[in-house]
C-alpha cells in the first residue's frame, strides 16, 4: 500500500515539475533530490521547490492538479506472503540456583526484500526478547478461585536488557511474489524463540535424566523437574 501511494505521489511530483520547467512528464526523472530532463541534467528543479509550490503557491500549479502531495492507496491480496526464521541458542543451567543463562543466540529470518535492515533487526530483537520472556520468566498464576496472583510487576517477572543475550543476526532475502518482493516481519522472533530456548535447556539437562514438559522454565520448575528425576542439586551442567 505504501509503495502504491508513493507511486501516485511521484507521478504528481513529475506532473508539477513538468509544468514548472515546461517539459514533457515522460522525459523527466527523479534523482538525488532533483527532477531533471533525462539526458539534460542542467534543466532541473529541486524536489523541495516542487513540494513548496504544491503546498504554498497554488497559482503556479497546472489547472488540473490539486494542491498538496498526498495519496491514498489500498492493497489487498488473495494469497499470503509467509516469512520464516530459524533460531539456535546455547545455554548454561546452574543446578544450584535453577538459573538459566543464555550464552549465545543466533537467529536468521527471511522476510523477503528488506526495506530497512536496522528496522528488521529491531523487530527480530523485540520478538526474540518476548519469546525468551515467555520461555524463562513471564507466567500468569491464579489461585483456586481463578483470581490472578501476578497482577503487578512485583509478582510478574519480565526480563530486562541484562537477561537478554546479544543477538547474532543472519539475513536471507528470498523475494516474494508481492510488489517489491517483501514479506511480513516480526512474528518469527516471538514464535521461534520459546522452542529454541526450551530445547536448549532440555538438552543441557538431558544427561541428568530430566524431562521438561511445560513453560516457563523458571527456577521452581527446574527444581521440580530435577527432583522428579531424583537428582541431587548443587552441580552445574552445560
pLDDT of residue 230: 83
Phi and psi dihedrals of 36, rounded to 5? -135, 165
Is 199's pLDDT higher than 70? Answer: yes
Question: Is the entire prediction scored with pTM above 0.85?
Answer: no
Find out whether 179 and 163 touch, Cβ atoms under 8 Å: no
Alpha helices in the chain (DSSP H): 2-21, 47-56, 117-136, 187-205, 219-228
Residue 233 has pLDDT above 80, yes or no: no
With a cut of 60, say whether residue 236 has pLDDT above it: no
Which whole number is the average pLDDT over 162-183? Answer: 92
Q: What is the mean pLDDT of the chain?
A: 91
Take residue 103 and report the three cell numbers written for it.
550464552
Query: Cα(first)–Cα(last) distance of the chain, in Å?
Result: 48
**pLDDT greater than 60 at residue 12:** yes
CA dist 101 and 165 (Å) reads 9
- How many CB atoms are located within 10 Å of the residue 200 CB? 24
What is the arithmetic mean of pLDDT over 79-105? Answer: 92
SS (H, E, C) 204-225: HHHHHCCCCCCCCCCHHHHHHH
| Residue 57 vs residues 65, 66, 91: alpha-carbon distances, Å | 12, 11, 63
pLDDT digit string, tens, across residues 114-162 = 999 999 999 999 999 999 999 999 999 999 999 999 999 888 989 999 9
Amino acid at each position: 500500500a505504501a509503495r502504491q501511494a508513493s507511486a501516485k505521489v511521484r507521478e504528481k511530483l513529475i506532473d508539477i515539475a513538468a509544468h514548472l520547467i515546461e517539459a514533457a512528464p515522460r522525459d523527466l526523472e527523479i534523482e538525488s533530490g532533483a527532477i531533471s530532463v533525462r539526458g539534460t541534467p542542467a534543466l532541473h528543479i529541486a524536489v523541495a521547490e516542487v513540494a513548496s509550490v504544491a503546498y504554498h503557491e497554488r497559482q503556479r500549479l497546472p489547472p488540473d492538479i490539486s494542491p498538496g502531495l498526498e495519496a491514498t492507496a489500498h492493497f489487498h491480496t488473495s494469497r499470503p506472503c509467509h516469512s520464516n526464521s530459524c533460531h539456535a541458542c546455547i545455554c548454561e543451567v546452574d543446578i544450584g540456583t535453577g538459573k538459566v543463562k543464555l550464552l549465545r543466540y543466533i537467529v536468521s529470518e527471511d522476510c523477503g526484500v528488506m526495506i530497512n535492515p536496522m528496522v528488521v533487526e529491531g523487530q527480530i530483537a523485540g520478538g526474540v526478547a518476548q519469546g525468551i520472556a515467555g520461555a524463562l520468566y513471564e507466567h500468569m498464576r491464579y489461585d483456586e478461585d481463578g483470581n490472578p496472583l501476578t497482577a503487578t510487576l512485583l509478582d510478574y517477572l519480565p526480563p530486562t536488557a541484562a537477561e537478554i543475550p546479544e543477538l547474532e543476526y543472519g539475513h536471507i532475502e528470498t523475494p516474494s511474489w508481492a510488489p517489491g518482493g517483501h514479506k511480513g516481519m516480526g512474528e518469527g522472533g516471538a514464535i521461534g524463540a520459546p522452542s529454541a530456548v526450551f530445547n536448549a535447556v532440555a538438552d543441557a539437562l538431558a544427561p541428568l535424566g530430566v524431562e521438561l514438559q511445560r513453560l516457563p522454565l523458571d527456577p521452581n520448575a527446574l527444581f521440580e523437574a530435577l527432583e522428579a528425576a531424583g537428582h541431587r542439586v548443587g552441580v552445574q551442567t552445560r
